Amino acid sequence: MSGKLYDDGVLDPRDTRTVLGIALSAAHSGPIEGRRGYGVFRM
């Protein structure tokens, strides 16, 4: 799948905790707002 560019990149297993920590910190630092309407559709 990487050859067809279906992913955003491959992480070095040694960097997994660092990248996960950065992602969780970014998600936690944003404001929590309500959503009007039905929600989010995922495919």
Answer yes or no: are the C-beta atoms of 43 and 35 closer than 8 Å. no
State both tokens at 28: 């936690």
Is the model more confident about 15 or about 43? 15
Q: How far apart are the first and last CA of the chain?
A: 18
Does pTM top 0.85 for this prediction? no
Say whether pLDDT at 5 is over 80: no
pLDDT in tens, 11-42: 888 999 999 999 899 888 887 777 677 766 66
Q: Amino acid identity of 18?
A: T
